Every structure is written in C-alpha cells, then in structure tokens.
Amino acid sequence: MIKLIATAAFGLEAVVKREVIALGVSDISVLDGRVDFSGELSDIAKANIWLRSADRVLLNMGEFNANTFDELFEGTKALPWEEWIPENGKFTVTGKSVRSRLFSVPDCQAIVKKAVVERLKTRYKTEWFKEDGPEYKIQIGLLKDRATLTIDTSGPGLHKRGYRPIASPAPLKETLASALISLTYWRGDRVLLDPVCGSGTIPIECALMAKNIAPGLNRAFVSETWPCMPGRLWKDARAEAKAVEIADIQPQIFGSDIDPKAVELAKRNTIKAGVGDFIRFETKALKDITLPGRYGITVCNPPYAERLGSAAEVGRLYKDMRSVFAPDATWSLNVITPDEFFEKTYGKKADAKRKLFNGRIKTDYYQYAGEKPGRNR
Ligand SMILES: C[S@@+](CC[C@H](N)C(=O)[O-])C[C@H]1O[C@@H](n2cnc3c(N)ncnc32)[C@H](O)[C@@H]1O
C-alpha cells in the first residue's frame, strides 16, 4: 500500500473526500486542505484521471517530527527515495513552514535535497547524478514541527484538463467549477444553467459529470514518465474510464453570456472537451433569459466589480437575477462572488453561505434552494 494525498482548496475538503471515496481506496482521512488515503500503484493513475475538484495528487513519502536541522536531515535520509527516483531522476525541492521551529524554508529545502542525494548516493553507489531523466517535485511541508515529505504525481495542476487553452478575462478554475456543481442538488436529469458563462467552464464541467467522463482523460501527468509506473497502469485506467462513460443520457445544460466573443470561446472549448452535443449556448443578456424548463439549477460566477465592470453594473445584474429566477420557486440559484453585499443587493438572505477561495480571492457561495422535484410536480 502507498500513501497518497489529494490536495484541496480551502472549503472544498468534503467535496474532494466524496470523490476520493468513489475511487474505492482505503484509510481516508480529512485534514485542512488535504484528503489522505492509501492505495495501490494503480490508484495514482486513477486518482489523477478521476478527481474533479482536487488540485493535485501527492505521494506521501513520510512524516516525522523535525525540531532541528539534524532531525530533518536524518528523517529525510531514512525514507526509501530510491523506490521512486531512478539514478538519472531530476528532482527539485520546494517547501513551506507553518508555526514550526525550522522556519527558514530555503535552509529546509537545501537540507532535504542534501539528504535525498546522500540516500541515493549509497543506494546507486555513485557520487555524481546527471539529473537528465524524469522529473520529481519533492515538497517539504512543516506544520507545528512535523515534517511531511511528498512527491507530486500530477505535474500541471488537475484544473488543467486540456480543453481550455484560452479563457475569457476572469475564468473560474475547472476544479472549483466542478465543486460548485457538486455542492448543489444537481443530478444528471436536472436542468443546469449558467447565465454568465464566459468561457463555459461551469456548463462543460457539468456535461463531463453528466456523461461520467473522467476529467483527466485527455491530458498527461508527470508520473506517467516515471519508470516505476508501468505504462499499462495508465492504459488500463484510461480504458476503464472510457468503459464507464454514459452514452445514453442527454443532459439539459445551458450557457449564455452577453458577450458574443465569450460565447464563441465557450463553444470552442466545449467541442475540445468532447461535450459539444450536450450544451446549448446563446448570446443573451441575463435580464432577457427565459428559464429553460422547471426545477433547474443555476450555478454562476457573475463579474466581480474589481475585475470586470463597475459596481453599479454588477449591482444591476444582481437585481436582474432576482427578477429572472425568483418568480419560479422551483429554480435554485447558486452564486459565487467576493461581494459581501450580494444578499443585500439581490434582496434576499441565502439559505446557505459557504466560504471559498477563487484563486486568491476570498469569496462566498450563496445558495438559494428551489423546491425539490416530485413534491409539486
Ligand atoms: C466572471 S465571468 C464568468 C467566467 C466563467 N465562469 C468562466 O469560467 O469563463 C463573468 C461573465 O459575465 C458576463 N456578463 C456580464 N454582464 C452580463 C449580463 N448583463 N448578462 C449576461 N452576461 C453578462 C461577462 O461577459 C463575463 O463573461
């Protein structure tokens, strides 16, 4: 068994935990910003290919108390680096230290690098490493004097699905978009609408979920280049993912935006993501929208006054939202925004409010629940 960590943005740990459970792995535990679990080598491939809301998958090499540089050196040297890093492996060390005696991150990085080199020197019986082979990004994390040593298995962050090479001016991270959908009552048979869709991230992530398409199916991961990860593990994980895609579902997903260029971009990205047939896009101002059906779910990130548009325009948009969505009590509205006065301008207190980060921006996710289908249908 190997120990793995799925890193999660602040506030999304519970969503990532659900995704980790779905992988069928064991020993799952949740900590701030991460979900730990144990699995087989093949779970490195599965986790990278399947996790929708996690930022990356790390291999947890070991944890130990490190109050002094000596303890850090010896603890690092005792770990089995040679099981993962080949003789020609190229490795870098990054670090962070929170509330720990060893607070100089550059010194900790240098010590970890030296300890790994010492370990590999004795194992490979050499004094000199060319470092011209596959890449290994080691991280030393110190939290309250406890060191955690990891190797990144993902490479570019998991939000890089490969379908969005170009984005609109203020795009939402794909990982956050899928988490926003998971935090609603949306299921494959419910209508989903993003009336300010920009480059289409929310509708695209929703279509991938509806069709059970693995988000990482069409991209590469750094651990694919590692000799210890046989190519067949990746081939099998991708074949298994293809086999569970749902063909016979026609999801009802809608996206619109006032900007025709954004809509064009959204359409292009949708085709790249392989879900071009499942989303209907149109150029339309939010105030002119006709709701596409009943019991629908709106998930959106309207423009932030500090990034796009003026405060007055953004305020007008919130009021338009109220007049479009409030008349139909079967619709749910879910809005992510850093605007502390959203509820005041919108004119109603949210049923739930959750703190999340959109990149570095502190935001709230305001959720207004609509009537559930079945009760009044
Ligand atoms: C923050 S961006 C949305 C980003 C999107 N989620 C993405 O991932 O690319 C906000 C979008 O709202 C659109 N917008 C602004 N005012 C609008 C209005 N009155 N009606 C419809 N769309 C509007 C902008 O054109 C912009 O694309």
pLDDT digits (tens, 9 = 90+) for 160-177: 998 887 656 668 999 999
pLDDT, position 167: 57
Fill in the amino acid letter for 167: A
- Distance in Å from the first CA to the final CA of the chain: 49
Mutate to test the pocket of ligand 1, among 196, 281, 325 (most ligand atoms within 8 A of CB): 196
CATH fold of the domain at 174-214+221-368: Rossmann fold (3.40.50)
pLDDT, position 164: 85
| Backbone φ and ψ of 240, nearest 5° | -60, -40
DSSP per residue, 283-306: E--GGG----SSS-EEEE-PPPTT
Those residues whose C-beta lies under 8 Å from the C-beta of residue 235, and which sit 6 or more positions away, are: none
Distance 257 CA to ligand 1 centre (A): 6
Distance 170 CA to ligand 1 centre (A): 8
CA 376 to CA 328: how far, in whole Å? 12
Are residues 203 and 254 in contact, defined by beta-carbon separation less than 8 angstroms? yes
pLDDT, position 314: 86
CATH 3.30.2130.30 domain span(s) along the chain:
2-152
pLDDT, position 32: 92
pLDDT, position 165: 74
Mutate to test the pocket of ligand 1, among 163, 166, 168 (most ligand atoms within 8 A of CB): 168
Distance 267 CA to ligand 1 centre (A): 15
Those residues whose C-beta lies under 8 Å from the C-beta of residue 213, and which sit 6 or more positions away, are: 207, 241, 245, 274, 275
List pocket residues of ligand 1, CB cut-off 6 Å: 167-168, 170-172, 195-199, 201-202, 257-259, 262, 285-286, 301-303, 317
For residue 117, give Cα distances in angstroms to 29, 58, 61, 130, 338.
32, 20, 15, 12, 45
Instruction: List strand residue ranges (DSSP E) for 322-360, in order.
Output: 332-337, 352-358
Ligand 1 atom with the smallest distance to the CA of 198 is: 27
> Which stretches of the chain drop beneath a pLDDT of 70?
166-170, 305-309, 375-377
pLDDT, position 168: 62
CATH 3.40.50.150 domain span(s) along the chain:
174-214+221-368
User: Angle formed by the axes of helices 105-124 and 69-77, to 10°?
Assistant: 30
Distance 262 CA to ligand 1 centre (A): 8
Distance 301 CA to ligand 1 centre (A): 7
CATH fold of the domain at 2-152: VC0802-like (3.30.2130)
**Model confidence, pTM:** 0.95
Distance 289 CA to ligand 1 centre (A): 14
Are residues 363 and 357 in contact, defined by beta-carbon separation less than 8 angstroms? yes
User: Angle formed by the axes of helices 42-50 and 231-243, to 10°?
Assistant: 40
| Backbone φ and ψ of 37, nearest 5° | -160, 165
Ligand 1 atom with the smallest distance to the CA of 262 is: 27
CA 52 to CA 6: how far, in whole Å? 11
pLDDT, position 91: 95
The distance between the two most distant Cα atoms of the chain, rounded to a whole number of Å, is 75
CA 25 to CA 241: how far, in whole Å? 16
